[in-house]
Amino acid sequence: MSIDWTEAVKEYKEQYDDDNGIHEYIDGLLPIYNYEIYQTYHELLGTPLNIEIGEIHMGMTFDKILLWDIYTEYSNEFWAEYKLSNDEEE
């Protein structure tokens, strides 16, 4: 699933006044079904078969580990575009 981050930021700014809802907004963009999670992870980061499971992952299911990494990537992309958008507005 490819996201147009410029459009995502534009949509977010239409719905919210500040940056307090960004985490919830990004969470809403995450895939839900296992196949979509795997496919999205593979598009963003490559094969998940190379993930090293560490202490930080204890108690997490495999899909939660993938979603965590996807969320991090989405968050980085969104924040970069959000800051760029704010700079353009000023």
pTM for this prediction: 0.90
- The residue among 49 and 89 whose pLDDT is bigger is 49
The number of domains in the chain is 1
Q: Where does the chain have alpha helices with state H? A: 5-15, 22-29, 34-45, 62-89
Range of the domain at 80: 5-89
d(CA 44, CA 32): 16
Query: Residue 1's pLDDT band (boundaries 50, 70, 90)?
Result: low
- Locus of tokens 């809802």: 21
Question: For residue range 72-85, what is the model confidence (pLDDT) as tens digits?
Answer: 999 999 999 999 99
Contacts (Cβ under 8 Å, ≥6 apart) of 80: 5
